[in-house]
Amino acid sequence: MSRSLSALLTKTMICAIIFEKNSDSVLQSAKKAIEMGADILEFRIDVLENPDPETVQRLIYEIDYPIIATNRMQEEGGFFNGSEKERIEILLKAAKYAQFVDIELQTDEKYLSQVIEASNSSIVSYHDFERTPPFEELTNVVKMQREIGDIAKFAVMPNSLQDTLTVLKVLSNVENTIGIAMGDLGRYTRVVAPLFGSPITYASVNNKSAPGQLDISSIKNILRILEVMD
């Protein structure tokens, strides 16, 4: 591996997913993830039972660690049961203390711009749990994301090995983009993506939030091996 690839691995952050139903479990999971060496945490607000803006802001403040605040809509695999207005109000409140706010590209333009403007930094995301769009289509999605946010993120479902290669091909042609091929077939992309410039790779703590997700220790060990091979 060249020195430039080794540098990419060094820059890639391991993000632990905090995927819990109540406040105590959120704090415990966050503490465990930090102890395991996660660089940043993604707080899946939509998994909380009856989340409210004040509770979410308090939890982010108490965790006191770099956080990506995510309140995933049901259309993209989330669990939030409130109205779209309520979902956005929670994200706007979370934006005060979170390092990043992750907001879906398909969010209504009015709400999308509000969240991005309120965020310290933004991740504009796109999920497809059925397929992997062709290279040109996926590249156009990333282009739209990059035009409005700081980092683009896409997670797609591969139905063939070629689909996983499409994900890596897109990553090799763009910057500041997180790309994931989900499921068992795409599992390897979670550790290979950093070699293609992905700034963040996601890992589980107690509960997996997406098919094919690896735990923090596994990802750290694999990335360490790749660095040694430099």
pLDDT of residue 209: 54
**pLDDT in the model for residue 197:** 87
- 86, amino acid identity: E
Classify domain 3-225 at the CATH superfamily level: Aldolase class I (3.20.20.70)
Q: Where do the structural domains in the chain lie, given as residue ranges?
A: 3-225
Report the pLDDT value the prediction gives residue 1, as an integer from 0 to 100: 36
The CA distance from 189 to 33, in Å, is 21
What predicted TM-score, i.e. pTM, was given to this entire model? 0.89
Distances (CA, A) of 49 to 22, 56, 184, 225: 6, 11, 29, 39
Per-residue pLDDT of the chain (230 residues; tens, 9 = 90+): 333 444 444 578 999 999 999 999 999 999 999 999 999 999 999 999 999 999 999 999 999 999 999 999 999 999 999 999 999 999 999 999 999 999 999 999 999 999 999 999 999 999 999 999 999 999 999 999 999 999 999 999 999 999 999 999 999 999 999 999 999 999 889 888 888 889 999 988 875 555 556 788 888 887 776 663 45
Residues designated as active site: 127, 153
In whole angstroms, give the CA distance from residue 70 to residue 46: 7
Cβ contact 120:94 at 8 Å? no
DSSP 12: P
Residue labelled with tokens 């690839």: 5
| 124: three-class secondary structure by DSSP | strand
Cβ neighbours of residue 213 closer than 8 Å, sequence gap 6 or more = 17, 190, 202, 203, 204
Strand partners, 177: 152
State pLDDT tens for residues 113-151: 999 999 999 999 999 999 999 999 999 999 999 999 999
pLDDT in tens, 33-43: 999 999 999 99
